[in-house]
Amino acid sequence: MKILGIDPGTRIVGFGLIEQVGNSRFAAVEYGNIKIDKNLRFSDKLKYIYNNVSELIKRTQPDITAVEEVFVSNNAKTTLRLGHARGVIILAAAQAGISVEEYAPREVKQAVVGFGNASKSQIQHMVIRILELTDTGLQEDTADSLAVALCCGLRGLRDVKIPEKKQ
């Protein structure tokens, strides 16, 4: 099973494709960021996000797409804009016929780190460890997208084995 995790944003959209490689293990297939020009009009940003996510889905052919829910901030305008970005991401997956699962940030942290108040650095550390990545300089958006994909994959799995730290 291939799971495409997406961390929505209006400046950067993180994405991470993982694949199940056994009963309780996952491997990273591809990951990165879609960077959006800050000078674009908001409607053009949404179009850019939609087109790039549509192309990513077409190219990677995931079985499921996992999208992080909006973190509600004190800035209503920012929260609404992020909701619009999520909307076009979900639309891109739906139009491609791909099932979409949504996860709250706290749920993602709980699944990957073990507690819902985990820091960004703790998420990065666990994503690198679980997926056995050699790329230890993951950007936050990329690590978050891989964490969302892992949350989706780990739900329902029992006896998940986290690899021992290599020395």
For every residue of 129-158, DSSP letters joined together read HHTT-S-----HHHHHHHHHHHHHHHTT--
What tokens were used for 76? 């209503």
Q: Where are the beta strands (DSSP E) in the chain?
A: 2-7, 12-20, 26-35, 64-68, 99-103
* Catalytic option among 7, 19, 107, 140: 7
Q: Model confidence over 105-124: pLDDT tens digits?
A: 999 999 999 988 898 899 99
The pTM assigned to this predicted structure is 0.89
Say whether 141 is catalytic.
Answer: yes
Say whether 37 is catalytic.
Answer: no
Give CA torsion, residues 135, 136, 142, 148, to 10 deg.
Answer: 100
Distance CA 42, CA 130 (A): 36
Q: Model confidence over 59-104: pLDDT tens digits?
A: 999 999 999 987 766 778 888 999 999 999 999 999 999 999 999 9
Query: Angle at the Cα of 159 (from 32 to 143), degrees rounded to 5?
Result: 15
Distance CA 69, CA 146 (A): 14
* Catalytic option among 68, 101, 144, 164: 68
Tell me the three state secondary structure of residue 39: coil
* Catalytic option among 69, 141, 144, 159: 141
